[in-house]
A and B are shown apart, each in its own frame.
Chain A
Amino acid sequence: MERRAVIAQPMTETCADDADDALVSAARAGDRSAFGLLYDRYARMVHGILLCRVPPREVDDLVQEVFMLALRKLDSLRDLSRFGAWLSTITRNRANDYYRNSSRVEQPMEPEEEEQAQSRSNDHVAEQEAAMTLAVLRTLAETYREPLMLRLVEGMTGPEIAARMGLTHGSVRVNLHRGMRMLREKLAEKAGPKTEDNTKTAKTSGQNA
């Protein structure tokens, strides 16, 4: 079953690579729509890689910055078929720079209206669970974290991940599988002490009442 899938997909990869070649060439020549198509194709990958490393609130801005950077450096890309892998490296480096560059200017958030905060709070339990799950996912080793982030958060399939990042199907498949197992274990570990914390919180809340 697995072997059949591996045999079936190189054609898709080849098509995708050919298309990338053409798009990258056109973008280099100043074709804005070609670069737009590359953006459409790779934005989720860039977004997911960034989400592995920087706070979620910063990711959208950094996606724009990564594409700016890529556009600026596009002439330095020698093997056009390696655009995805090249862009992944740029993205990781930008995420690392985010922490090095302490003078980064954050965009202040607009003041929130109390009513808005109240309505949002209805969904806060799921939101908090999502935030904590994302945090656990971010503790996995990079090898597992990235494909899993692209699969679970960005909704990319394994073959897509392999094609975009310039990896083999086999390695992505193994890393997704192992990463998922590790994530399950870590989430199960978290679920253990959580009960105790909840008890304490409930106790304190009881005192508040």
Chain B
Amino acid sequence: MREKDRAMKDEYLWDGSGEPDPEVQKLENLLGRYRHDQPAQAPALSQLFDQLAAERPAQHRWSFSLSRLAFQLAAVAAVLLIGVATYLVIRARHASNSGPAWEIARIAGAPRVGWHSLSGNSETGQLKVGQTLVTDGSSRASITLDETGRVEIDPASRLRVVASGPNRKRLSLERGTIHATIWAPPGEFVVDTPSAVAVDLGCAYTLHVDDSGAGLLRTAMGWVGFKLNSRESFIPAGAVCATRPKTGPGTPYFEDAPEAFRDALAKFDFAAVTEEERSALVSLLMKYARREDALTLWHLLSRVSEADRATVYHRLNVLAPRPAEVTREGILRLDQKMLDSWWNSLGYGDVYLWHIYERTWSGDQPRSK
């Protein structure tokens, strides 16, 4: 009986006869949206014939170029050289700095530093390099450094001071949530998380890290850089960016983006998908992108496959036309100056500030779980 059922269902797969196979039917309904729906039209066919008459044999151009390969190898060598040199310079400069301490103010509960708890109403303390401020489920605190800014620490958080030297203030948020309002010059205040480094570029923002090391950064004012190794995200006011251990920061997006856009982006950034699936997600992202989502599309330029890059370029060019000095070819080969120029034209912040940070801090990377 079961074999007969199966045979009937096979008949349905074969020619649509027999008992319908619900799974095949479901796939037919789901995938039917891609079905060819352009019946031949006389004008279109006439056009085909006319075009054919007008066409001359096109000469096939084979554009395989060895010089391109040589260029790429040279670029890789140059990057490696710069990387090694930078590492050596930074390592030499990397001295322990004691620097000024952050002033702690208790807001609620009993936040503690080491064994010492701050529990009195007016009790304050200091947070020095190497020390960790811990809040339990009912504690909150703030830390302030005169020339840098103020950071509020939510309950259930662990925040450590990594460095406090001149022009280099570095904290490490191991778990929990902080709200940072920074008045130090852009690029001087940095927060490590287990999966990315948040770099202040003149702003106020909230940073959350969960127990797995995954994080979420939401910018309230100005903009923030989020980085792990070569993966960088710029998050302007109103935008958010998630980060995951080993992967690093995802692609930033505005919180009011369509749900379909956000869903597809979350999968593009963090789901285990094949190249084909990533390409399908890129198509959806292009479809749902609004003008404001130029922010996201600009980041996607360097994150999609070469095959999809031209599509992203065109969509971005429609939503936020490229500046005159930017060319399609330059963007397709990910020319950094052109990418920078296009970013600056979006009006979220001058990428020059980011490069200051990179020159000052590169080499100092967070550990990734």
Contacts and interface: CB of A to CB of B under 8 A. Distances in A.
A124 B315 CA distance: 19
A76 interface: no
A130 B284 CA distance: 11
Interface string B253-292: 0010011110110110011111011011101101111110
A129 to B, nearest CB: 6
B111 to A, nearest CB: 22
Contacts of A48: 36
B283 A131 contact: yes
Given A106-B310, A134-B34, A127 B318 contact: no
Contact of B314 (A5, A43, A108): A108
Contacts of B291: 111
Contacts of A72: 52, 55
Interface residues of A, number: 79
Contact of B31 (A108, A112, A137): A137
A92 interface: no
Contact of A130 (B33, B42, B49, B263): B33
Interface in A44-74: 44, 47-48, 51, 55-57, 59-60, 63-64, 67-68, 71-72
Given A36-B40, A124-B259, A155-B35, A129 B48 contact: no
A187 to B, nearest CB: 9
B350 interface: no
Contacts of B63: 102-103
A7 interface: no
Given A134-B31, A134-B34, A120 B260 contact: yes
Contact of A135 (B10, B276, B310): B276
B34 A56 contact: yes
B69 interface: no
Contacts of A84: none
Contacts, number: 204
**Dominant secondary structure of chain A at its interface with chain B:** helix
Interface string B12-45: 0111100000011001101111111011101011
Contacts of B258: 117-118, 121, 124
A124 B263 CA distance: 9
A155 B14 contact: no
A203 B38 CA distance: 43
B36 A128 contact: no
B76 interface: no
A127 B33 contact: yes
Nearest to B277: A135
Interface of B: 7, 10-11, 13-16, 23-24, 27-28, 30-36, 38-40, 42, 44-46, 48-49, 51-52, 55, 63, 208, 210, 214, 216, 218, 240, 242, 255, 258-261, 263-264, 266-267, 270-274, 276-277, 279-281, 283-284, 286-291, 306-308, 310-311, 314-315, 317-319
26 contacts: A1-B11, A40-B39, A43-B36, A47-B35, A55-B280, A56-B34, A56-B280, A64-B44, A102-B63, A104-B310, A109-B286, A117-B287, A120-B288, A124-B264, A127-B284, A130-B33, A130-B34, A131-B281, A132-B267, A134-B280, A135-B280, A139-B274, A151-B13, A153-B31, A153-B34, A200-B214
Q: 10 tightest A-B contacts by CB? A: A124-B260, A47-B36, A131-B280, A135-B277, A39-B40, A135-B276, A121-B260, A108-B314, A157-B15, A158-B14
